[in-house]
A = this chain, B = another copy of it.
Amino acid sequence: MKPKQPDIQANPDNPTSALRTLCEKSHPAVAAEALSALEAAAAWEILRDVTSSLRAEIFSHLAPSLQVSMVGALPRADMARLLSDMPPDDRADLFRRLPEESRDAVLPALAEAEREDIRRLTDYEDGTAGAVMTSDYATLAPDLTVAAAIERLREVAPDKETIYYSYVVDDDRRLLGFVSLKDLILARRDATVRDIMHKRVIFARTSDDQEDAARIIQKYDLIALPIVNEDGALVGIITHDDAIDIITQEHTEDMRRFMAIAGSAGADGYLRTPVWKHVQQRVGWLVGLAALGLISGLIIHKFEATLTQVLILALYMPMVADTGGNTGSQSATVVVRSLALREIGPRDTWRVLSKELQVSVFSAAILGLLAWAKVTWLSQGADLPSGLTLTNIALVIAVALALQVVTATLIGALLPLAAARLRLDPAVVASPALTTIVDITGLLIYFYTARWALGV
Contact = CB atoms under 8 A, between A and B. Distances in A.
Interface string A188-207: 00000000000011111100
A348 to B, nearest CB: 7
Contacts of A371: 290
Contacts of A304: 311, 315, 382
Interface in A234-269: 240-241, 243-245, 247-248, 251, 254-255, 258-259, 261-263, 265, 269
Nearest to A221: B241
A29 interface: yes
Contacts of A325: 432, 435
A10 B125 CA distance: 41
Contact of A262 (B241, B334, B351): B334
B1 A216 contact: yes
Given A1-B208, A241-B240, A301-B315, A333 B150 contact: no
A441 interface: no
Nearest to A285: B330
Contact of A359 (B221, B279, B323, B362): B279
A286 to B, nearest CB: 6
B279 A343 contact: no
Interface in A413-441: 432, 435-436, 439
Interface in A320-353: 321-323, 325-327, 329-330, 333-338, 340-341, 343-344, 348, 351-352
B1 A202 contact: yes
Given A271-B344, A344-B271, A351-B271, A439 B322 contact: yes
Nearest to A357: B275
Interface string A263-299: 1010001110001101100110111011001101110
Contacts of A262: 330, 333-334, 337
A113 interface: no
Nearest to A2: B202
B3 A201 contact: yes
Specify the main secondary structure of chain A where it touches its partner.
helix
A37 interface: no
Given A218-B245, A322-B436, A378-B297, A362 B185 contact: no
Nearest to A150: B185
Interface centre among A282, A317, A319, A382 (most CB of B within 10 A): A282
Contacts of A245: 218
Contact of A439 (B26, B271, B318): B318
B343 A271 contact: yes
A297 B182 contact: no
B269 A359 contact: no
Contacts of A258: 255, 258
B202 A330 contact: no
Nearest to A342: B269
Interface string A292-316: 0110111011001001100100111
Closest 7 CB pairs of A and B: A314-B314, A3-B200, A270-B338, A221-B241, A269-B343, A262-B333, A270-B343
Given A27-B200, A181-B181, A271-B355, 10 more contacts: A223-B240, A240-B244, A255-B258, A261-B329, A270-B338, A271-B348, A275-B355, A286-B367, A322-B436, A326-B432
26 contacts: A3-B201, A157-B186, A164-B181, A181-B181, A218-B245, A222-B241, A240-B240, A243-B244, A255-B258, A270-B334, A271-B344, A275-B358, A278-B355, A278-B359, A282-B363, A287-B366, A287-B367, A290-B323, A293-B319, A293-B322, A293-B323, A297-B315, A314-B317, A318-B318, A318-B443, A322-B435
